[in-house]
Amino acid sequence: MDTRIIKLANLLTDYSCDVQPGERVLIDYEGECCKNLARQLIKNIYAKGAYPYCRMRDGQIIREIALNCTEEQLKFQDDIDLAQMQGMQAYIAIRAGNNTAEMSDVPSDKLNLYSRMTRPSISYRIDNTKWVVLRYPNYSMSQLAHTSLESFEDFYFDVCTMDYRKMSEAMTPLVELMNRTDKVHILGPGTDLTFSIKGIGAVKCDGFKNIPDGEVYTAPVRDSVNGVISYNTMSEEKGFTYENVVFEVKDGKIVDAKANDTKKVNDLLDVDEGARYFGEFALGMNPYIMHPIKDTLFDEKINGSFHLTPGMCYEDAPNGNKSANHWDLVMIQRPEYGGGEIWFDDVLIRKDGRFVIPELDGLNPENLK
């Protein structure tokens, strides 16, 4: 077994999910290439006196189901998935689909129905299990990153197995600052946005939920968001690549949305009432991820970025927003992407992607590597 796979598997079972004797752990994977990682996870789980279970996914099969799905059909399927999840203490998802655009020709109404009806089992997993989700390097991902598979694998294992304990310690001052902050003001090209995060609470993402990791998140007070935001990072969502997404926001609600396909972006935001409100605000700071690769799990951690997410909030940073969507849209603020500023209670805390107050200097990339 590749020693890099063993190191990654150890991180997932020993740190991310902290698997304990007697626990049941569901491994949910897609893609032949990640089978060796799944096998090593099974070995690790048994070695800890716990019980591994496995579920295999296939993007082509999911597409065929979604094309003609009905509400009754999907509710029955999600009831089965929910019953399985309710028996688990931990969940590890590995994704290595061959085609990121597999769902691109599924009609919007069917995609929205599929998202809405499969949300209960996902919400239970998020709120009630120890879980971690990761991609796995394959040709599809390396093509998105415009690099060879070998080069992408080297990058991937460096990013995914970094020292998350060191990162976690450096995040503590930012969590404390966000917990006492009321007003946030974001400035950048095509962006002037204000909102409150008072009383919501901030959460570290330091290797326990996503691999790779590297963000601290909270949520805006639901009706406090006002202004305009122009995202500068492409987003692959439900099989379509969105570019140049611009939202005008009034009292928390996205009242005008434009993109490279304005109809499609509005269809996505119309899945339910909560999809036009925001459920997450997060600062990205992974020192190894500097440029987007059209994969959300990587792009939302880009050093010097933030994401402001239309849709569902998380239970550990709740603002009351419910939705079938959770769409992590990213804006990079380093100089080569146009720069930008983030202010907390009228104090500049990050400029052009770098933290500028002394207590947050440990989160700048040279101090995290």
Q: What CATH number should be reported for the domain holding residue 103?
A: 3.40.1830.10
Range of the domain at 75: 3-160
Q: Read off the tokens for 274.
A: 């909560």
Query: 186 and 53 in one domain?
Result: no
Query: 363 and 259 in one domain?
Result: yes
What is the model's pLDDT at position 145?
82
Query: 203 and 170 in one domain?
Result: yes
In angstroms, the first-to-last Cα distance of the chain is: 27
| Percent of the chain as helix, strand, coil, to the nearest 5 | 35, 30, 35
What is the model's pLDDT at position 69?
96
Domain end: 133, 160, 187, which one? 160
What is the model's pLDDT at position 294?
87
Q: What is the pLDDT of residues 243-273, one digit of tens each?
A: 999 999 999 999 999 999 999 999 999 999 9
Q: Which residues of the chain have pLDDT under 50?
A: none
Query: 228 and 123 in one domain?
Result: no
CB of 196 closer than 8 Å to CB of 184: yes
**Beta strand segments in the chain, E:** 24-30, 51-57, 90-95, 130-135, 183-188, 191-196, 203-205, 210-211, 215-218, 226-230, 235-237, 240-242, 246-250, 253-258, 278-284, 305-310, 330-332, 341-344, 347-351, 354-355
Phi-psi region of 345 (alpha: psi -120 to 50; beta: other; left: phi over 0): left
Query: 155 and 19 in one domain?
Result: yes
> What is the total count of domains within the chain?
2
Domain end: 160, 188, 204, which one? 160
Q: Which residues contact 330 (CB under 8 A, 6 or more apart)?
A: 231, 233, 235, 284, 292, 299, 300, 302, 305, 306, 307
Q: Are strands 90-95 and 130-135 parallel, antiparallel or unpaired?
A: parallel
C-beta atoms surrounding 76 within 10 Å: 11
Query: 80 and 28 in one domain?
Result: yes
**Greatest Cα-to-Cα distance within the chain, rounded to the nearest angstrom:** 56
What is the model's pLDDT at position 264?
94
Place of tokens 């919007």: 108
CB of 354 closer than 8 Å to CB of 365: no
Q: Read off the tokens for 104.
A: 């691109």
C-beta atoms surrounding 102 within 10 Å: 19
Query: 31 and 175 in one domain?
Result: no
Query: 321 and 270 in one domain?
Result: yes
Query: Which spans in 129-216 are helix H?
Result: 139-144, 149-160, 164-179
Query: 82 and 44 in one domain?
Result: yes
pTM comes to 0.82
CB of 186 closer than 8 Å to CB of 193: yes
Domain end: 138, 160, 182, which one? 160
Query: 127 and 168 in one domain?
Result: no
Query: 148 and 177 in one domain?
Result: no
Query: 307 and 197 in one domain?
Result: yes
